[in-house]
């Protein structure tokens, strides 16, 4: 179960997130129950961030060949 599906199920069960501590607790519980999914989602997030940063020349980030190559190697 993906993290967002897990959080949606918590809401359906009556959970109310009233503080940041509850969010981090829900994320920790998800990682404990679904460690492989949590790991893959974390890796996916890193790849998306790398891909985004590799193309952000206007934001002051060097979209060099090295960054593009690093992103491509991680995707494969």
Q: Has this prediction a pTM greater than 0.75? A: no
Per the listing, tokens 């491509």 go with 72
Whole-number pLDDT of residue 23: 75
Ranges of the chain whose pLDDT falls below 50: none
Provide the token pair at 50.
């790398």
Domain ranges of the chain: 1-33, 39-76
Whole-number pLDDT of residue 47: 77
């Amino acid at each position: 179960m993906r993290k967002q599906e897990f959080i949606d199920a918590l809401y359906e069960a009556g959970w109310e997130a009233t503080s940041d501590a509850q969010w981090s607790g829900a994320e920790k519980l998800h990682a404990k129950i679904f460690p492989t999914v949590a790991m893959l989602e974390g890796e996916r997030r890193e790849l998306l961030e790398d891909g985004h940063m590799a193309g952000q020349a206007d934001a002051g980030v060097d979209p060099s060949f090295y960054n593009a190559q690093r992103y491509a190697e991680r995707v494969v």
